[in-house]
Chain A
Amino acid sequence: MTKIKRRTFVGLAAATTTALSMPSIAFGALPRVVVIGGGAGGATAAKYIAKDSKGAIDVTLVEASKRYYTCFFSNLYLGDFRAYGSIGHNYYGLAVNHGVNMVHEWALSVNNAAKKVNLGSGESISYDKLVISPGIDLKFESVNGYSAEAQSKMPHAWKSGTQVQLLKNQVKGMKKGGTFVMVPPPNPYRCPPGPYERVSMIAHQFKKSNPTAKIVILDPKNKFSKQGLFMEGWQKHYPGMIEWISAETHGGIKKINAATMEFETDLDTFKADAASVVPAQRAGRIAMNAGVNKGDWCPIVPASMQAQADENIYVLGDASIAKSMPKSGFSANSQAKVAANHIRGSLTGSKVFTPRFANTCWSLVATNDGIKVGANYKATAEKIDKTSGFISKTGEDSNLRKATYEESIGWYSGITSDMFS
């Protein structure tokens, strides 16, 4: 009994000392960080703030899903290179290993003045610093005739999860010799090579079980990420199957009809037997509610990822204007570490290091044919500036392409471990 009392006393004394060392925080309470969104940006930020502060910061992660399906590698599930279960992850590691408080609810609104996040349950959580990493919302209206209802016939499948399963079902069930129409989004959007890797994976499925099928890409752009590499790969692995039609060729998609599966353009009206339409995008709704957006996306301070509109809010990943970085899971993970270091520094006085950003995006064109593009970035006053980079070359040796694919598997294992364990 006496021993327990002594331990209790020592514990209290330690806690009091810690609390007193925190500036501008209520007596006895730890500084509190709330993170909204448990993807590549949010999960990484929550983990690193909790891990590196070693208990000196109270971290809460607000994420509605208890199981998170990554958008990256969902194309590989479409191509049968991954099982669906292998792209799903839970948050046990963040809670057990790092003491992150998980709140599985929707964040409804942010009260910037009171520094509170209001939850779907009606409860609210106070913060000293708030991280918003909500990913994207879809602008259904950007494609005339597309809607939340039409997504059942023409899945966007741009937020992973059951939409990708639905798309796979429709690809596998498409009539023999039928036409698949893919509508990629206009810039800027999540995962620049994603629509073209998707086409590759669907072509891979067709080659196996529906070899006379055709794929038509009605692009709202005149060029796309890794274009030369994809075009070369399509010619090599799926000759005659894929037709890419640029905006200047088709003159714009005037209207789509989900009931008749028709796509009307200046060039022609295309009839699809199955389709995927990925509309234009914007930052997730909560970023708009917090008022940290300027138009569709959120301007940030490049050195810290703080929102330009509110120094107590950080915006990560797809929702931010982090140019010249692309909107990718790798970018979000990299930005999260910069923000975590800055937040910890501002709340506990720990050292803030010079921000370092990096990105690499791997894509799979066919079995053992992986390609990649990557860059280093540094913060300037105006933007996150590219300092160096690389891209796979056309005509590369097949052993190198196989190694690149294997590297992408290693990366998936690495980044998901970094995010969730």
Chain B
Amino acid sequence: MTSPVDEGLLRSLTPGVLGVLVRRGADFATAEDAVQDALVEAVRVWPDDPPRDPRGWLITVAWRRFLDAARADTARRRREDLVDQEPEPGPAAAADDTLLLYFLCAHPSLTPSSAVALTLRAVGGLTTRQIARAYLVPEAAVAQRISRAKRTVSGVRFDRPGDVATVLRVLYLVFNEGYSGDVDLAAEAIRLTRQLATAIDHPEVAGLLALMLLHHARSASRTAPDGGLVPLAEQDRGRWDTGLIAEGVRVLQTALSRDRLGEFQAQAAIAALHADAPTAEETDWVQIVEWYDELAALTDSPVVRLNRAVAVGEADGPRAGLAALAALDASLPRHTAVAAYLHERDGDLATAATLYAEAAHQAQTLAERDHLTRRAARLNARLSGRGVAPERTS
């Protein structure tokens, strides 16, 4: 009887298996190759001969592959000494092995792009090709990044836990950036963050998970049929995923009750307030401004202050928003776009149209440029008394 291999199961076991090998003393680069070999072997063998203990099977096969590679290596003798070391760890150690992998792949000595590539492959179990497609770069480039990253972290010792913030930054990047071809990077980031949350009890891990869930809930409504961006205020809220929202809010509330606020919890709180509003008009902007104040105190990021100006514009009127904006550096990305929006809200359509066009030229993404160009075109049509195209509602 042949049954297809559960790829999800296979990939969820990947980091733990690799963690065991590294804990037994295998060098990371060789161990990672060995685990990839074991995964390929599993896909080949399991349909006809499913193992009783998939994790144990993978560890055995990967360890054997590692030893074969080690024997072929010049450091042969040192590694063969490892053969009889350490019994198979119990379930408690399994979580630690997974955690160790997260820390290793997000090690501060790596550049962000290397950490992302290594995390997706070694923790996520994605292939080099899948990662290359997700970031629209040649497979050879990703292969190089991964092998260099493996060399960089090979000498790292794991006698003490790393900083969870570095891991969270990598997972945030996976969620927030990338083209998402045949792999849904956002879903993958959520899976990896969920897995991390079961391995470590930390309010910011929960905060990031909640943030991802609450934003992923809107994914269906974020893009128009023509591929254009639909801003939050114009999204069809009926298409938001209420299951993801409920889970995100639950995860966030538990995290907030620990009273150790961090930037991801604060961002998630803002997303939760948006999720909570049945219509854009019913959004609790006053509370959102308060959360931006918290966030600004935590991160001191200019982008946060820019978003705060938008929120102030909604809470206290566009003039107040423009006043908040005037205090910020005009060269910030999206500064002009925000100014355009606030002037439009203030009824100064001519200024808004000019600023939207200017903002379109400064846009850093195609979708944003097209969106801003449409806004400028719509206002220009109104100003010249030509027909007004109706607002897009979905």
Please determine whether chains A and B interact with each other in the same assembly: no
- Residues of chain B at the chain A interface (Cβ within 8 Å): none
- Residues of chain A at the chain B interface (Cβ within 8 Å): none
